[in-house]
Amino acid sequence: MFRNKNRTPNFNYFIKALKREPTPRPVLFEFIISEDKERYLLKDKFVNETEFDRVKSTILAFDSAGYDFSPIIVRGLTFPRNEGDNPHAQTKSLNVGNMIKDWPSFNSYQWPEIGSCDFSIIKEAGKYLHPDAKFIPFSFDGILENVIGIVGYDTLCYLLYDDRKLVEAIFKEVGKRMKQYFIECLKYDEVGAILCNDDWGFNTQTMLAPDDLREFVFPWYREIVAEAHKRGKYAILHSCGYYRDIKKDIIEVMKFDGKHSYEDNIVKIEEAYDELSDKIAVVGGIDINFLATETPEKVYERCRKMLEKSKAKGGYILGSGNSIPEYIPLENYKAMLKAANDGYDQ
């Protein structure tokens, strides 16, 4: 089994980074690592026969790679949607959702209930966590993503003009369930933070007008983050796309502790760190296209420069701009891990 040497899990280091304090060693973050990378990390210890086996393998893979936590998702809160002709496609139109388009379809929609989730998996899976590691739960899509999945992007945009009361009702049904999901996760001692994963932007603008996001989406996340803070825990935002028009909302209104997901063609991570690190921890950001196409040497060099750039000030956690899918070369992923494993220059 692969072992990132000299890195014993310590979630307190992760907390220090979220609090924008310098850490004794670099801290790592991902919330999705592809199965082939987990197989590499675990070798013959990787097991995938049952759903719980998969959870256990993820925990052990994250420990092996040198992370201070493991991500976890509790199954059950899945909003029925029309997946189109190919539900297994890797890319999908934002307009395949058409389950709700008016009040009759809203009233007949079968909303999932939180009782379908078995949160006890957090306690059971926690037996495989390192004693000094924690879970960071995430959800199956976020509030805006689930609404778009149910309604369709074009339909949602039309409804914002045609029937804002219906839009409000849809967001309320999704939002209150997502809030309860995270509250249930936060009840477990094994959980140290939550990841609110909800894409809000395209390359050059937000997916909805900022004022619409402020009316329908952000109030729910403000409450979710407050629930985490009330329990002495932390909340990280994973949101792809353009964010500058809603930067103050993320930091000052919703009060997230960390912001994840960056792309070089929107804002390079080096620039984002300069822009944001006085107010919020900057998480990940090594661009996916860069990781997929550059050499391991260039990946290592960029990661090292980013770690040294943030060493004295703190508030940076090394990781990809989004996640580690299959098409990221293994050697490039290993180069990023090595950059963290090599520590800070003395």
Give the CA distances from residue 147 to residues 96, 247, 333, in Å, rounded to whole numbers and listed in that order: 12, 22, 33
The pLDDT, as a whole number, for residue 85 is 42
Cα–Cα dist 145/199, whole Å: 7
The pLDDT, as a whole number, for residue 164 is 98
Segment 232-246, tens digit of pLDDT = 999 999 999 999 999
DSSP 321: S
Cα–Cα dist 316/271, whole Å: 12
Contact 242, 212 (CB under 8 A): no
- In DSSP terms, which residues pair with 191 in a beta bridge? 135
- In DSSP terms, which residues pair with 195 in a beta bridge? 236
pLDDT at 53 over 70: yes
Could you give all domains of the chain from N- to C-terminal order, each with its CATH number? Answer: 11-341 (3.20.20.210)
pLDDT at 82 over 90: no
Contact 147, 174 (CB under 8 A): yes
Average pLDDT of the chain is 94
Cα–Cα dist 268/253, whole Å: 24
The pLDDT, as a whole number, for residue 105 is 97
pLDDT at 248 over 60: yes
The pLDDT, as a whole number, for residue 93 is 67
Q: Mean pLDDT across the stretch 90-112?
A: 85
DSSP 260: E
Confidence of residue 88 (pLDDT cuts 50, 70, 90): very low
pLDDT at 6 over 80: no
Give the CA distances from residue 215 to residues 141, 197, 210, 228, 242, in Å, rounded to whole numbers and listed in that order: 19, 19, 9, 22, 19
The pLDDT, as a whole number, for residue 4 is 66
The pLDDT, as a whole number, for residue 342 is 93
Q: Which residue has the higher pLDDT, 6 or 172?
A: 172
Beta carbons within 8 Å of 288's beta carbon, 6+ residues apart: 263, 320, 321, 322, 323, 325, 328
pLDDT at 90 over 90: no
Q: Mean pLDDT across the stretch 74-100?
A: 73
The pLDDT, as a whole number, for residue 7 is 80
Give the CA distances from residue 307 to residues 218, 261, 266, in Å, rounded to whole numbers and listed in that order: 31, 17, 21
Cα–Cα dist 236/321, whole Å: 14
The pLDDT, as a whole number, for residue 3 is 65
pLDDT at 86 over 50: no
